[in-house]
Structure 1
Amino acid sequence: MNNRYNTLRNRSAAYAATTVMDGAARQVLRNTYLLLSLCLGFSAIVAAAALALNLPGPGIVITLVGYFGLLFLVTKYRDRGLGVGLVFALTGFMGYTLGPILSKYLSMANGGLTVTMALAGTAIIFLGMSAYALVTKRDLSFMGGMLTVGVLVAFVAGLAALFFSIPALSLTVSAVFVLLMSGMILFETNNIVRGGETNYVMATVSLFVSIFSLFTSLLQLLGFVNKE
Structure 2
Amino acid sequence: MILQERKIVNDSFIKCITTAEEISSKRRTRQSRLSNENQRMLRQLLCLKGELSERQKALVKTKLELHCLRQRLRQQAFRTSRMASRLEENKLLTEKLLERNVKLNERTRELLELYRTRALMFVYKLIGMTQELLATKTRSKAFADASAHLKSKNKKLQLRQRMLINKYTTLVAQATAPKDAQDANYGLVHMALHYMACLWECVSSLGQCPKLEGPNRRFQWALSLI
Q: TM-score, normalised by structure 2?
A: 0.23
Whose radius of gyration is greater, 1 or 2? 2
Q: TM-score, normalised by structure 1?
A: 0.23
**Higher-helix-fraction structure:** 2
